């Protein structure tokens, strides 16, 4: 690991503000002066507390702990960092990854998101769609939340496919706890990533922020079930803003679980009745080549 990357990792441990790190990098691209700057340094305005933290957080000890726990750190300047993710609004400076990081090279990622209170209809929809998606080499990205997210991960695994989870908070504080076994399995056989250090407890504001990573890694986002005010719609908004495809499952017009999906369809999202609508829109239907990951 080069010294500039190590300094960037240290900064990420010292502040959760993307803009603070950006302002420091603009002033000092190689981060050569961050340890020398005095408290309240005019060189780094608005970053005095961050710079102070650099002198109290034992980064060498933490890096040794991560290595012993098989946690990999991939900076935005690393060739292994996903190219598609670099183009989003405020791309993560560091990806903390546990599992098969070769999956980040996959060029056929599809985000699947939906209600935490998944209905039988939502779960059956995923079970119906998943075989066709996996057979055509799509890798499934979701957020390891209860409901639609967890069911999507499980079905991808069941069908012999690849899947990755993007979590809020760090690896040491998996939320919800009911998905701890799934997370542990994915950290060994699939992939779990976060932009936050492993010791970070998940904060409420981190959940909508992690959605930009879910959509940013993916060619498109499929919303299975969503109420009118749903975190899944935030993921869809990120996808639209980044020029990615958005798909939605129609449902019962009397069910609040489908209101968000119906609104998306009215706004132009692709209505999905079978895997073919997704595959055709992504221009990979019936292709022989698969994602090598």
Domain shared by 117 and 54, yes or no: no
- Position 84 in a domain: no
Task: Return the closest-CA partner of residue 203 out of 173, 226, 165, 164.
Answer: 173
Contacts of 59 (CB under 8 A, 6+ apart): 6, 9, 10, 13
Residue 289 has pLDDT above 80, yes or no: no
> How much is the pTM?
0.92
Task: Return the closest-CA partner of residue 107 out of 135, 132, 137.
Answer: 137
Residue 287 has pLDDT above 80, yes or no: no
**Domains held by the chain: number:** 2
- Position 238 in a domain: yes
Distances in Å between the alpha carbon of 181 and those of 12, 144, 178? 28, 11, 7
- Position 216 in a domain: yes
Domain shared by 122 and 216, yes or no: yes
Domain boundary among 50, 68, 86: 68
Residue 214 has pLDDT above 60, yes or no: yes
> How would you classify residue 172: left for phi > 0, otherwise alpha for psi between -120 and 50, otherwise beta?
alpha
Domain shared by 200 and 253, yes or no: yes
Residue 248 has pLDDT above 80, yes or no: yes
Domain shared by 266 and 122, yes or no: yes
Q: Which two tokens stand for residue 78?
A: 């690393």
Residue 237 has pLDDT above 90, yes or no: yes
Residue 59 has pLDDT above 50, yes or no: yes
Domain extent for 211: 101-281
Domain shared by 121 and 192, yes or no: yes
């Amino acid at each position: 690991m080069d010294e500039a990357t190590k300094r960037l990792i240290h900064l990420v441990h010292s502040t959760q503000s993307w803009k603070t790190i950006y302002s420091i990098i603009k002033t000092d691209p190689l981060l050569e002066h961050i340890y020398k700057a005095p408290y309240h340094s005019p060189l780094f305005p608005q970053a005095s507390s961050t710079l102070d933290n650099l002198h109290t957080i034992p980064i060498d000890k933490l890096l040794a702990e991560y290595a012993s726990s098989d946690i990999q750190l991939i900076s935005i300047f690393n060739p292994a960092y996903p190219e598609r993710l670099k183009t989003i609004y405020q791309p993560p400076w560091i990806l903390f990854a546990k599992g098969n990081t070769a999956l980040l090279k996959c060029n056929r990622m599809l985000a699947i998101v939906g209600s935490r209170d998944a209905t039988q209809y939502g779960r059956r929809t995923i079970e119906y769609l998943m075989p066709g998606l996996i057979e055509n080499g799509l890798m499934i990205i979701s957020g390891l939340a209860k409901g639609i997210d967890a069911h999507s991960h499980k079905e991808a695994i069941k069908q012999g496919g690849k899947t990755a989870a993007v979590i809020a908070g760090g690896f040491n504080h998996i939320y919800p706890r009911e998905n701890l076994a799934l997370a542990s399995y994915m950290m060994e056989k699939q992939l779990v990533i976060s932009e936050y250090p492993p010791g970070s407890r998940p904060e409420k504001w981190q959940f909508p922020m992690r959605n930009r990573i879910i959509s940013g890694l993916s060619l498109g986002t499929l919303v299975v079930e969503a109420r009118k005010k749903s975190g899944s719609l935030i993921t869809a908004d990120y996808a639209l803003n980044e020029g990615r495809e958005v798909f939605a499952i129609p449902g019962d017009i009397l069910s609040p679980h489908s209101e968000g999906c119906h609104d998306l369809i009215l706004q132009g999202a692709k209505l999905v009745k079978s895997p073919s609508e997704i595959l055709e829109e992504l221009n990979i239907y019936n292709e022989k080549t698969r994602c090598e990951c």
